[in-house]
Amino acid sequence: MQQSDVRPQSMERITSKALAERFIEVQVEALRKQVGDSKVLLALSGGVDSSVVAALLIKAIGKNLVCVHVNHGLLRKGEPEQVVKVFRDEMGAELIYVDAVDRFLDKLAGVSDPERKRHIIGKEFIDVFAEEAAKLKGIKFLAQGTIYPDILESKDGIKAHHNVGGLPPELNFELVEPVKLLYKDEVREVGVALGLPAGMVYRQPFPGPGLGVRCTGAITRDRLEAVRESDAILREEFAKNGLEGKVWQYFTIVPDYKSTGIKDGKRSYEWPVIIRAVNTRDAVTATVPALSFELLQHITARITSEVKGVNRVLLDLSPKPTGTIEWE
């Protein structure tokens, strides 16, 4: 039996470990009842929602959950490895790791329009996932990390529900959506109670098309690597300096543009890295926080010396509006 899509008035907000544990207990029971001895498929991106759904299902049905992690080459540094380490090695999940990096990057080669890039990434993801699902014959259930704001927003017509639809109808799955009545903060509370690492539960929002929209214009492997490496340095420095969890979202962009510089006493002609850091409540508007100049200088020194192909670092000072948070 699937739950209704309406959160009952009487449902208490999950604000403590005890309430999260109670939710887990009830859901484990409900999941076992819904799927019995059948297998359940889950696209595990490593994001908060799908990770919490995976952990809940592992608790409820163990090896009958089959996770598929598609590495499309647009994930942040260390993310695919963390998914494998946490879910396969530590939680003992049945995890299929699909290395689809070449497939995605080949399809994206030469494509510079942001919406076309998004469309290609979304479509290719569904194709890869559907192929994996077809190989695993006879799976009837599909788990999804749908959360309550997804349901509310798709009802209001604000955005297409990113978790629903997309998969070919002939796959004919029955949906398993154990966190669909929860708000994000509740999903996090449940994730902590399930023992997921804090870095996974409290991570900043990350767009579905991943680093692909931060390697602006037509994506090339070398520039994508510059995005990934500079992003890793920025995240490491923000964490070291107590900004993790304080600044809402921060990342780097590497535009398809070069400028003159000097490296090792020679003329260099290389990309700039742009730092974007914003605070917001709902991502509809955003402000730019004041950052320590010393820290920015230190990050600049690290990025220009450690990231191949980069000779400048810029800081985006634009609030939203006029600038959106992402550059594409």
Among 207, 255, 261, 319, binds ligand XMP (CB under 6 A): 207
By CB under 6 A, name the one of 208, 255, 261, 309 that touches ligand XMP. 208
Q: How many residues bind ligand XMP (CB under 6 A)?
A: 11
Q: Tally Cβ neighbours within 10 Å of residue 56.
A: 23
Rule CB under 6 A: choose which of 191, 209, 212, 272 binds ligand XMP: 209
Residue 283 touching ligand XMP (CB under 6 A): yes
Contact 105, 75 (CB under 8 A): no
H helix runs in 161-211, sequence order:
184-193, 198-201
Identify whether the C-beta of residue 93 lies closer than 8 Å to the C-beta of residue 87: yes
Residue 136 in the binding site for ligand XMP (CB under 6 A): no
For the bound state, the minimum distance from the C-beta of residue 12 to ligand XMP, rounded and expressed in Å, comes to 29
Q: What is the Cα 188 distance to its own chain's centre?
A: 14
Is 270 or 328 the residue whose CB approaches ligand XMP more closely? 328
Q: Which of residues 2 and 285 has its CB atom nearest to ligand XMP in the complex? A: 285
With CB under 6 A as the contact rule, the residue among 195, 199, 205, 245 that binds ligand XMP is 205
- Contact region for ligand XMP (CB under 6 A) — 33-41, 104-112, 140-148, 201-209? 201-209
What is the chain's percent helix, strand, coil content, to nearest 5?
Answer: 45, 20, 40
CB atoms within 10 A of CB 144: 24
Element containing residue 250 per DSSP (H, E): strand 249-253
Could you tell me which residues are beta bridge partners of residue 43?
Answer: 68
Contacts of 315 (CB under 8 A, 6+ apart): 274, 275, 291, 296
- Determine the interface stretch with ligand XMP among 62-70, 99-107, 200-208, 309-317 (rule: CB under 6 A): 200-208
From candidates 3, 249, 268, 300, binder to ligand XMP by CB under 6 A: 249
Q: Position 116: which residue type?
A: R
Rounded to whole angstroms, the Cα distance separating 18 from 190 reads 10
**Residues 253, 276: Cα–Cα separation, whole Å:** 8
Query: What DSSP letter does each residue of 89-110 carry, written as one string?
Result: IIT--EEEEEE-HHHHHHHHTT
Q: Which is nearer to ligand XMP, 209 or 272 (CB)?
A: 209
In angstroms, what is the minimal distance from the CB of 211 to ligand XMP?
11
Footprint on residues 296-325 left by ligand XMP (CB under 6 A): 320, 324-325
The nearest distance, CB 65 to ligand XMP, in angstroms, is 24
Kindly state whether residue 217 participates in binding ligand XMP, applying the rule CB under 6 A.
Answer: no
Among 7, 32, 118, 184, contact with ligand XMP (rule: CB under 6 A): 118
Assess contact for 56 and 86: CB atoms under 8 A: no
Tell the smallest beta-carbon distance from residue 176 to ligand XMP (Å): 21
Binding region for ligand XMP (CB under 6 A): 118, 205, 207-209, 249, 283, 320, 324-326
